[in-house]
């Protein structure tokens, strides 16, 4: 999963020399700018996001009508349908209407927030989305916390030890993980830790056999099933945090305020933790905001591989039919989340980095 092209994740700001006898932090974070400038900036970002979302809404209608598949056959079964039975199902699903009429009904549904009924489950598609969303949030938030926490820690240490064996090994591991396909990595994890070692369940979110009705037993069971999919998803995005944090630390290393901190007698680790890392966090903080959106897209493969009952698996099941109303809603949700996350990342960066305000 790469970084969205509209997201601003440049290198961290260079710090100035610390003031003698004062704090060695290179600068105070100033106010995000005058009200007029900020509202103009916000209007530009919001309008861009709105245009992207409108394009997504239109695309969602046409994409899933050209991907192939016969929802009537999927619903009616493989036993064969008479022309009358087929016509009845098409009329019930609204597929017998001209494309223009279907598009108008789709637009009307979007405006009134009526997203339609699932072809297969015969439930409101919004009901299916809200039922599966907590499972996806559990998986994605866990993976993001693992990737960000370990990635920033390893990246900071690697950047601080430039040229060391540790840095070279971590950069190599990160690049390998970044380039590894998610489905391949997931299959390797299943083979090693589930099939060979038998440490974790192969799929699902809960054990088929009863584990107790108390909250603790249920929590432990879900956590046991969560380990492999969360680690697999985290491994793919972990590399981005390592490489960006390492790059930020490398930029900070040559700044005068770190020299002043060392001259005051601070230990090397203290200089890294208290002065270099806080300044280098800026690009990584915005990367977290970006990943909040893109990590939902990564859930599609991970949930499918591990049969994790979230939105990704629901999307995979819907595309096999194809269940057009459900696919439309999920597509808009995934794309809209990414668009919103990138807009928020741009706004967050304006608050954190004074150079963005001065150039806006």
Q: Measured on CA atoms in the order 356, 11, 234, 269, is the torsion positive or negative?
A: negative
Cα separation, 281 vs 96, in Å, equals 55
Q: 205-226: per-residue pLDDT in tens?
A: 888 776 667 788 888 889 999 9
Name the architecture of domain 40-69+115-359.
Orthogonal Bundle (1.10)
First to last CA, the chain: 28
| Position 20 pLDDT exceeds 90 | no
Tokens 């695309």: give the residue: 59
| Position 275 pLDDT exceeds 90 | no
Q: 162-209: per-residue pLDDT in tens?
A: 778 888 898 888 888 888 888 888 899 999 999 999 899 888 888 877
Work out the number of other CB atoms within 10 angstroms of the CB of residue 276: 25
Q: What percent of the chain has pLDDT over 90?
A: 17
Q: What percent of the chain has pLDDT over 70?
A: 76
Q: Which residue from 249, 322, 335, 315 is spatially nearest to 58, judged by alpha carbons?
A: 335
**pLDDT-based confidence at residue 18 (cuts at 50, 70, 90):** very low
- Give me the chain's average pLDDT, please: 79
- The confidence score (pLDDT) of residue 30 equals 45
* Dihedral in degrees, nearest 10, Cα atoms 151, 157, 162, 166: -80
Q: 294-331: per-residue pLDDT in tens?
A: 677 778 888 999 999 999 999 998 988 888 999 999 99
Q: What is the mean pLDDT of residues 96-118?
A: 88
Q: Which sequence spans correspond to the domains of the chain?
A: 40-69+115-359
Read off the pTM.
Answer: 0.77
Q: C-alpha 188: how far from its chain's center?
A: 22
- Report the SS3 class of residue 307: coil
Q: 116-131: per-residue pLDDT in tens?
A: 889 888 889 999 999 9
Q: How far is CA 216 from CA 37, 145, 219, 220, 222, in A?
A: 51, 22, 5, 6, 10
């Amino acid at each position: 999963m790469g970084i969205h092209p509209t997201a601003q994740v440049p290198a961290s700001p260079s710090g100035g020399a610390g003031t003698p006898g004062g704090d060695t932090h290179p600068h105070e974070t100033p106010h995000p700018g005058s009200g007029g400038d900020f509202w103009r900036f916000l209007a530009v970002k919001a309008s861009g996001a709105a245009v992207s979302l409108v394009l997504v809404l239109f695309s969602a209608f046409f994409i899933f009508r050209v991907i192939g598949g016969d929802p009537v056959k999927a619903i009616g079964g493989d036993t064969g349908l008479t022309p009358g039975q087929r016509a009845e199902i098409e009329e019930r699903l609204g597929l017998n209407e001209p494309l223009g009429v279907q598009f108008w009904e789709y637009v009307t549904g979007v405006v009134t927030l009526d997203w339609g009924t699932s072809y297969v489950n015969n439930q409101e598609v919004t009901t299916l989305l809200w039922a599966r969303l907590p499972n996806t949030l559990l998986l994605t938030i866990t993976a993001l916390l693992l990737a960000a926490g370990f990635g920033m820690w390893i990246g900071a240490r690697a950047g601080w030890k430039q040229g060391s064996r540790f840095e070279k090994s971590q950069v190599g591991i990160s690049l390998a993980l970044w380039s590894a396909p998610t489905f391949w990595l997931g299959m390797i994890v299943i083979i090693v830790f589930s099939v060979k070692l038998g440490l974790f369940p192969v799929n699902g979110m809960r054990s088929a056999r009863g584990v107790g009705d108390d909250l603790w037993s249920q929590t432990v069971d879900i956590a046991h099933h969560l380990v492999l999919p969360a680690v697999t998803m985290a491994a793919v995005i972990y590399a981005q945090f390592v490489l960006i944090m390492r790059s930020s630390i490398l930029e900070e290393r040559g700044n005068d305020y770190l020299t002043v901190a060392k001259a005051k007698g601070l230990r090397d680790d203290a200089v890294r933790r208290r002065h270099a890392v806080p300044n280098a966090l800026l690009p990584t903080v915005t990367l977290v905001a970006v990943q909040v959106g893109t990590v939902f897209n990564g859930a599609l493969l991970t949930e499918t591989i591990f049969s994790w009952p979230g939105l990704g698996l629901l999307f995979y099941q819907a595309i096999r039919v194809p269940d057009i109303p459900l696919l439309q809603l999920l597509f808009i949700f995934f794309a809209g989340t990414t668009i919103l996350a990138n807009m928020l990342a741009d706004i967050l960066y304006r608050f954190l980095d004074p150079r963005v305000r001065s150039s806006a």
